[in-house]
Amino acid sequence: DAMVIQNPRYQVTQFGKPVTLSCSQTLNHNVMYWYQQKSSQAPKLLFHYYDKDFNNEADTPDNFQSRRPNTSFCFLDIRSPGLGDAAMYLCATSRGTVRDSRHNEQFFGPGTRLTVL
Amino acid sequence: GQQLNQSPQSMFIQEGEDVSMNCTSSSIFNTWLWYKQDPGEGPVLLIALYKAGELTSNGRLTAQFGITRKDSFLNISASIPSDVGIYFCAGTGTASKLTFGTGTRLQVTL
């Protein structure tokens, strides 16, 4: 089945120790997104890639970076995690082809729960 | 960032009851999406709506795209225990980014 995969599902890191979360997709979608979700809140968009074009949200801290080496993979790097960065991190994809009426539908992975000690 | 007004915030209902929740916005949206999120998992797309007035069903779920394009509702008929979770509405305007609702937490008792 076509899907969005996130690894690991649970990640524990120490305060200030860099961490990388990964996402892969078999949907062959053009757009990949990274969201941060804190308890009982809606997901908050950090940034997204349209193909290789990187789009950062204005309020995303510089501590968060992303890489998309190819269509299938996207990485979230947190350079110096703080206690406030503990959250669920969600990856999502969408077709992004405007002539397709379903291009805005986003499909989410299962998420990575990050704990910062 | 911007959020949609979603209500109710939480619901506690009995198995077999029908459920209704809605989202409203001050802005026009071109697409409305409804997601369900189970604890510790990512949101799962339930229904997508593309045209004002559109009414779409997916099993026991029915959703409508409001005529004004500023609201949408989701109905669940004959609820069962596995309907428990958080339901999010989301909309897109001219850009492809999703604006999420604040979520409705649904709890179902036997």
Per-residue model confidence (pLDDT) at position B97? 85
Q: For residue A101, what pLDDT is reported?
A: 67
pLDDT band for A75, please (50, 70, 90 cuts). very high
Is 80 exceeded by the pLDDT of residue B107?
yes
Cα–Cα distance, B64 to B50 (Å, whole number): 10
How far is B17 from chain A, CA to nearest CA, in Å?
A: 24
CB–CB contacts below 8 A, A to B: 59
Residue B2: the pLDDT is: 62
> How far does the CA of residue B94 sit from the closest CA of chain A (Å)?
10
Find chain A residues with C-beta within 8 A of B103's C-beta. 40-42
> For residue A40, what pLDDT is reported?
80
Q: How many helices (H) and strands (E) does chain A have?
A: 0, 11
The answer, for B70 touching chain A at a CB cutoff of 8 Å, is: no
Sequence length of chain B is 110
The pLDDT > 70 percentage for chain A reads 95
Token pair of B16, please?
């077999």
More confident residue, A25 or B110: A25
Nearest chain B Cα distance for residue A15, angstroms: 23
Whether residue B45 and residue A102 make contact (CB cut-off 8 A), yes or no, is no
DSSP string covering A45-73: EEEEEETTEEEE-TT--TTEEEE--SSSE
Q: Convert the pLDDT of each residue in B25-84 to its tens digit.
A: 988 999 999 999 999 999 999 999 999 999 999 999 999 999 999 999 999 999 999 999
User: What was the pLDDT predicted at B94?
Assistant: 72
**d(Cα A49, Cα A74) in Å, to the nearest integer?**
9
